């Protein structure tokens, strides 16, 4: 990614997609960890657009709770989609900070629409402990933060899949770091044709080889790459502040290498970092880790 460009930050303080509270405070904790200043120190101009409005759970009717907040999540994602598309229209780099991972339905829909207008395709690198390919028919919990990748591939709630008529191309999508997958998700993963790398694959091949392959898939015939990084992809020893921690995840160096290699492609056009939960964090450790990871994605090098 080239220096002297403008980053536009948009916060999405929502935990409506999850049954565990706290991810709605993720954007605030990243700002308190000096996100804007540290990006500026890397040579970028930074505009912080603030946070999207997200309704408080307690203000919503019980029927909305029963539908797992489908209506407010849909409205939120439509708004985010328009904002993300607009940032790209201005020639700037969107940095979306969440919030639970359901917000990716909105951010990536906007990115897909932007590239569709250019008659171009975009690749996706999705880092996560979970596959996020459940649908309303397969999800044990019904929580929408377990469905965004399936939704973007065209499976799931009609109200959410309709946000973007342009769908992800499975052949340009790579899922990295998975280690906690429902049985139905395993079937869906095989059906979709996306490239996925479990923690065992990373153990066997090494992160460098995995990323080299994943980047090749995401780059093949595309004009850019978006990275959607769920912080629970990292082992909770290093990033405890998440809503759904799963042991045996990426080390800090593996996570940084992933993002350093993406930066070196010069094809990274947009970024999102989600599922930071300060309620479960230890001394703001995860917030500072996340800021450091964002800097790696934006070109910070060791030497």
Which among 145, 226, 256, 288 is annotated as catalytic?
Answer: 145
Residue closest to 67 by CA, chosen among 106, 17, 138, 103:
17
Catalytic residue among 230, 235, 254, 272: 230
- Quote the CA–CA distance of 78 and 52 in Å, as a whole number: 11
- Active-site choice (8, 51, 185, 232): 232
Per annotation, catalytic residue among 51, 85, 100, 130: 130
Given the residues 101, 157, 226, 288, the one annotated as active site: 101
Tell me whether residue 201 is one of the annotated catalytic residues.
no
* 128 noted as active-site residue: yes
For 248-271, give the DSSP string. S-B-HHHHHHHHHHHHHTT-EEEE
Active site residue 48: no
User: What angle separates helix 207-219 from helix 252-264, to the nearest 10 degrees?
Assistant: 40
Give the torsion sign (CA, 37, 261, 268, 146). negative
- Residue of 128, 254, 260, 281 with catalytic role: 128
User: Phi and psi at residue 272, in whole multiples of 5°?
Assistant: -145, 140
Report the chain's terminal Cα–Cα distance, integer Å.
Answer: 17
130 noted as active-site residue: yes
Known active-site residue 230? yes
Q: Is 51 a catalytic residue?
A: no
- Set 8, 275, 281, 288: catalytic member: 275
Catalytic residues: 101, 128, 130, 132, 145, 230, 232, 275
């Amino acid at each position: 990614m080239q220096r002297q460009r403008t980053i536009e930050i948009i916060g999405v303080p929502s935990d409506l997609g999850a049954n565990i509270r706290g991810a709605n405070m993720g954007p605030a904790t990243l700002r308190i960890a000096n996100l804007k200043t540290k990006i500026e120190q890397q040579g970028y101009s930074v505009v912080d657009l603030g946070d999207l409005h997200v309704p408080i759970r307690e203000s919503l009717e019980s029927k909305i709770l029963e539908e797992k907040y489908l209506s407010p999540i849909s409205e939120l994602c439509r708004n985010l989609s328009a904002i993300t598309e607009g940032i790209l229209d201005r020639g700037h780099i969107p940095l979306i900070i969440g919030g639970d991972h359901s917000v990716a339905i909105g951010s990536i829909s906007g990115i897909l629409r932007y590239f569709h207008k250019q008659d171009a395709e975009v690749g996706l690198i999705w880092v996560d402990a979970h596959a996020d390919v459940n649908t309303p028919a397969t999800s044990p919990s019904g929580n929408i933060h377990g469905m965004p990748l399936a939704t973007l591939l065209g499976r799931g709630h009609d109200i959410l899949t309709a946000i973007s008529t342009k769908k992800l191309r499975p052949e340009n999508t790579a899922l990295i770091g998975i280690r906690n997958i429902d049985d139905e998700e395993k079937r869906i993963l095989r059906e979709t044709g996306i490239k996925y790398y479990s923690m065992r694959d990373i153990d066997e091949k090494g992160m460098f080889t995995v990323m080299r392959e994943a980047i090749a898939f995401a780059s093949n015939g595309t004009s850019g790459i978006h990275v959607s990084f769920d912080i629970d992809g990292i082992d909770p020893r290093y990033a405890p502040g998440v809503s759904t921690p799963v042991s045996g995840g990426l080390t800090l160096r593996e996570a940084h290498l992933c993002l350093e290699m993406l930066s070196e492609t010069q094809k990274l056009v947009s970024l999102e970092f989600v599922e930071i939960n300060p309620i479960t964090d230890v001394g703001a450790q995860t917030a500072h880790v996340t800021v450091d990871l964002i800097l790696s994605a934006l070109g910070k090098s060791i030497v």
